[in-house]
Structure 1
């Protein structure tokens, strides 16, 4: 959902409504992300049988298109109309328009309808989120999982090691904290709690690492 640039941008612009912040964020450049799927989504979803999937914070559509190309019926959700337009364009270029429905939602106030075999929340952080908004959205995400389906939450473990003084104060929740906030009952099984370390390079070329949390839970009935 975000990377370091977004957090830095939030500090520079001050607190603004989520819709305004993300629309400004995407409008500043013709393209923000690579168009490729997130690596940890690929790792966790490649072996899942295709079904229906909800992509929360779909941004410019890299994950949604990758899923559609593998036979999933995708609902992609974002608050930015610019991001959604780019996602739709990418889907058209890759020939998967019929497999994806894009919807605009501010998840603090609305949520897509339906139940899904997979609900994916990749880097579901926002520098302008209000207290409790992320937790509430993820609880709604869990409620949208169909019996037998999976909720996959991937998020940053912390700031990259090359960033000595982060410009934005943000708490990156652990997998235990995310799990506790979901308030799941005994119908759910925790399939994976993981911390993944990967190389990361600053805009100035300083090398380091960044770590990510992965939580995968399944609704058994």
Structure 2
């Protein structure tokens, strides 16, 4: 929580939940309200108070990002909630969520989506549970299907690169004097042999595969060397 930006702290959200709360306090915030201190002490096992020693532009924001990174590293599958009105965190949040990290920003504690203490749990519905189980199973099956398609496509790509590489190596062995002396000429030669565009990913894929199996290298001046 960005205490420089949001001053209303509500720790009732912790309750019996497995929630860790980090309060980020700026260097110029030298005093804490006694009521807040009591709240922090009541949940001391779940609360971490971080007080910056020096101030600067966006200093607390950088510190918050650092502690968020540490928390993500400790448990990448957890859910992380930033309490701050500062929209400057949103690009970082988008970046992390694109990498399947569960991060959200809330302008106040009231916007947090935890289940609050004292609320009764919903009554279990057997029919609804069956529907949920079926949906989960369907999602898992769909993921497996997608994974198989991706794997099949990847294998096909490898097979194509192997075939193209063999075609290129065969030509270079049969015509050693015609082997390209510059990278640009090599790219054009490979593109012509495999019938692909010179700026296409297929050509670079063949070059990478030749280098990987030890058939091609480049010297300090980027001149291709063939090991056929």
TM-score band (shorter)? 0.3 to 0.5
Structure label with greater radius of gyration: 2
Q: Which has the higher contact order (CA 8 A, sep 6+)?
A: 1
Q: TM-score when scaled to structure 2? A: 0.31
Q: TM-score when scaled to structure 1? A: 0.32
